[in-house]
Amino acid sequence: MLSGELYLASDTELVALRRSARRLTHAFNATREDEPAARVAILRELLGACGPNIEIEPPFRCDYGANISVGDGFYMNFDGVILDCAAVEIGAHVLCGPGVHIYAATHPLLAAERMTGLESARPVRIGDRVWLGGRVIVCPGVTIGADTTIAAGSVVTRDIPAGVLAGGHPCRVIRRLDER
């Protein structure tokens, strides 16, 4: 799965890992606003790696959690989803608006191959100081460069360079951010 090869999501080991992540996300999503320490403790158990200062607003969902790494100062607003069937690496000081979805999971294009139950995944990388506006979707295999802003509602289907404003369906560079 992590190497990008086709895999069976119904594998007993993968099912057990997803159940563990569901247990932890359920506990996380049940916390109250006045329990920030409990939230962080659960996230440290759930995520593969995280910086010292992170905040995710419940509800939050993920597949495994262990394949997610987030840097210091990471913030994800309500209704975030990260499908981490491959590595999802998110840099420091990344901000995610409400309803941001990050997908490493994908499926074969051919129906006959999908019917076998095989799935695949491609890593997602998001650089430091990126801002993903509300309802942004980041697709499998995408890299977003540092200091980039992705406009709300965008669907990011291919790599986006550093230091740009990008948006749309599919997401495209609108302009460099060092331009006035």
In tens, the pLDDT along 4-16 reads 899 999 999 999 9
Q: How much is the average pLDDT of 19-31?
A: 98
**pTM, to two decimals:** 0.96
pLDDT above 70 coverage of the chain, percent: 99
Whether residue 93 lies in the annotated active site: no
Instruction: Please list, in sequence order, all residues whose beta carbon lies within 8 angstroms of the beta carbon of residue 5, skipping any fewer than 6 positions away.
Output: 120
Q: How much is the average pLDDT of 140-146?
A: 98
Exactly one of 93, 101, 107, 169 is catalytic; which is it? 107
Whether 150 shows a pLDDT value over 80: the answer reads yes
Beta strands 124-126 and 143-144: pairing type? parallel
Confidence of residue 137 (pLDDT cuts 50, 70, 90): very high
The pLDDT assigned to 72 comes to 98
pLDDT above 90 coverage of the chain, percent: 97
Q: How much is the average pLDDT of 78-107?
A: 98
The pLDDT assigned to 180 comes to 59
19-32 exposure pattern, b = at least 16 Cβ within 10 A, e = fewer: eebeebbeebeebe
Pairwise CA distance, residues 106 & 149, whole Å: 24
Q: Which residues, in sequence order, are bridge partners of residue 55? A: 75
Confidence of residue 85 (pLDDT cuts 50, 70, 90): very high
Q: If residue 38 lies in a helix (H) or strand (E), which one and from where to where?
A: helix 36-46
Residue whose pair of structure tokens reads 């495209």 in the numeric block: 172
Whether 79 shows a pLDDT value over 80: the answer reads yes
Whether 19 shows a pLDDT value over 70: the answer reads yes
Whether 179 shows a pLDDT value over 80: the answer reads no
Q: How much is the average pLDDT of 36-48?
A: 98
- Write down the number of H helices and E strands in the chain: 3, 20
Establish whether the linkage from the previous residue to 59 is cis, with ω within 30° of 0: yes
Report H helices in 65-176: 111-114
Residue whose pair of structure tokens reads 């460069």 in the numeric block: 145
The pLDDT assigned to 178 comes to 84
User: For the chain, which domains are there?
Assistant: 7-176 (2.160.10.10)
